[in-house]
Chains A and B, each alone.
Chain A
Amino acid sequence: MAATPATAGPLGFVATQAMASVPSPAYDDWLRVVRRHLTPPLCSLWALDRLHTLAAHLPGDCLGALEAHLGKRGGDVDLSIRFTEPGQGRRMAEQPLPAHLRSFLSQWSQPEGPFSSIPCIWLEFDLDRPVGDFPVPSVCARLPRDADLDWIVELLLPALHGEPLGAAQTGLVRRCHGEIPEEGILLYVFGLLSRPGNPIRLEIFGLDPAGAVAYLRRVAPHAAPALAEIAPIFEGIDRPHLSLDMGAEILPRVGLEGSFARQREPRWTELLARLVARGLCTREEMDAILAWPGYDTLWTAAADWPLEQAGVGGFCVRSLSHVKVVAQPGRAPEAKVYLLVSSLAGAKSPARRSVFST
C-alpha cells in the first residue's frame, strides 16, 4: 500500500494519510510482549495506548527506545526507533512522513547516495497528544567517523531540517563544532521537526560533566548555570552526552545524559538515587527502572508472544539505554529514562549476528 504525500499540520501531526503496512511482526508485537512491564509508574494506561497505536505502524526488526518521563511528568512515554539497514529506511520512507524526511530516508538507503555513510538513523515520536494520525517525528543521524563539517552543514543538516540552514544557524554550528575540545566529538545531529521553530540539535559525546559546563560557558554562557546545577548528577558516568538546540541562536534548554556499559551494575542505582534525592524521580520509578533489564521468550510470555509472526525462537529484550536531565534557566530540571525494547534472534539464527551491529 503506497502512502500519499504528507504535510505537517499546525499541531505537528500529519493529516490523515494512508499508512503503509509494515512487515510482520510489527514493533507493536514486541511491545505487547513487554506490556506487563509497561505499567505505572513508568507508563500510564493512556501512554501505553498511544504507544500501541503508533507502534503498529513501525517495523518490528528495529531497536526502539521508550522515553519515560520521570517525576512530575511520570507516566508519559514517547517512542524512538532506530534504523540501521537500508531496507528499513526504504520501508519507512513509504509512511506518511514530511516529504523531505521521506526523501532523506530514501537517499540514506541508496548505497552510493550522499548519506550512505551514516551508521544509523533515529525517528523520535512525541506522544503527548492522541495518535489518531501519524505524528511528525524528529529525526536524528549518527555521524560517521571523521564526518566532514562542510558535509554536515551543507548537506546533512538541511536534509534533516527540510531546508538550508540560515546564515546564523550555519555560523553557530561551525562555532560549536570548532569549540569542542579534544576529548569530545560531535556524534549526532537532529532535525527537531516536532518542536516549535523547527530547531536543530547537536549532541556531543565524551565531555564529562565539568567539561560539558566549561564547553557551554564558551558557546552558550546563558545556558551554562542551569547545566552546572545538574552536572553533579552525572559524576562518574561512562558515556556522557551533551545536547544543545539552536534556531537563530542557541536555545537555553540543554540536556545532559549518560549511561553505563553494563546493564546490571551498582552505578545505575547511584545515578537514580541522585535523581530521587533531587525530587526528579520517585522511589517507585527508580525501583521500576532497575527492574527493567531482562528478556522474554515464548516460554515466559506465551500469551503475548507473536507466534504466528515470529515463530517459537528468539528473545524480546528489555534493556536500559540512558538517563537524561534537561535544564533550562528559571525552570525546574526534568529527568527521563530511555528503556530499550528489541527482538533478538535465537543463537542458531543467521540473523543473530546482524542484531549486534549498529
Chain B
Amino acid sequence: MSEELKTFLQSLRTKPELLEELRSLIRDPDAAVQWAREQGCHLTPEDVAELQGDDEELSDDELDKVAGGDDGWPPPPPPPGP
C-alpha cells in the first residue's frame, strides 16, 4: 500500500460518506483517480486497483467455515470454555 493511499484512507476514516463515494468509484479507476484528486489526493491507478481487489464479500459458506474449522475429523466442534 502506497503512503499516499494510506494517508488518504486515514483521512477518510471519520468521513463515511466520502469513503462510500470512493468505494462506489473504484470499479472505474479513472473516475476514482479524478475524484481523489478533487479531494486533494494523488492516487494512482495501481492504488485504485489495490482497493478494488480488496473490496470483497464473504459468503455464508465461508462464514460457516471460519466458525467450525474444516479438518473433517471429528465433525468441526465448538471451542471449549470454562
Contact = CB atoms under 8 A, between A and B. Distances in A.
Interface residues of B, number: 40
Max chain A Cβ within 10 angstroms of own Cβ: one of B16, B54, B79: B79
Contact of B50 (A243, A312, A319, A321): A312
B79 A262 contact: no
A67 B54 contact: no
Given A303-B13, A303-B14, A261 B58 contact: no
B9 interface: yes
Interface stretch (A15-23, A174-182, A293-301): A293-301
B60 A319 contact: no
Contacts of A261: 64, 68, 75-76
Given A312-B54, A313-B53, A344-B58, A243 B80 contact: yes
A142 B74 CA distance: 11
Interface of B: 1, 5-6, 9-10, 12-14, 16, 19-20, 23, 50-51, 53-56, 58, 60, 62-71, 73-82
18 contacts: A78-B81, A80-B80, A124-B82, A126-B82, A142-B77, A239-B75, A261-B64, A262-B60, A313-B54, A313-B56, A317-B63, A317-B66, A338-B81, A342-B66, A346-B54, A356-B65, A358-B69, A358-B71
Given A145-B73, A356-B70, 4 more contacts: A311-B1, A312-B50, A317-B63, A356-B66
Interface of A: 63, 65, 67, 78, 80, 82, 119, 122, 124, 126, 138, 140, 142, 145, 185, 187-188, 190, 192, 194-195, 201, 203, 205-206, 238-239, 241, 243, 257-259, 261-264, 293-295, 297-299, 302-303, 305, 307-308, 311-315, 317, 319-322, 324, 336, 338, 340, 342, 344, 346-348, 355-358
